[in-house]
Amino acid sequence: MADVACTQLARSSIKSYEAEIAALKHQIEALQMKVQALENYRHAKHKEYAGLKPNSRSSKLSTTGVIDVKTLYIDHN
């Protein structure tokens, strides 16, 4: 009788661990999807940033919104 109870307890414990493992695997998959989404976002932003023209007039604006006349003069001569 005690052996049967021990066996049932062991099976119950194993099922509990299996359920916990399944939940952890699900969490890992969700985190991997988040990491992939962040990598895709980072890659897209890097691509977008790399596509910007560094010598465009809009990049010549200073933080005050004033165009650097010397730079424009040098670029066009």
25-47: pLDDT as tens digits: 999 999 999 999 999 999 999 98
- In the structure encoding, which two tokens stand for residue 1, read together? 């009788």
The letter for the amino acid at 40 is N
The closest alpha carbon to 67, from 58, 76, 54, belongs to: 58
How do residues 11-24 score in pLDDT, each as one tens digit?
999 999 999 999 99
Report d(CA 69, CA 75) in Å as an integer: 10
Q: Residue 59: its pLDDT value, please?
A: 53
CB 52 within 8 A of CB 59: yes
77: pLDDT confidence band, cut at 50, 70 and 90? Answer: very low
Q: Read off the amino acid at residue 23.
A: A
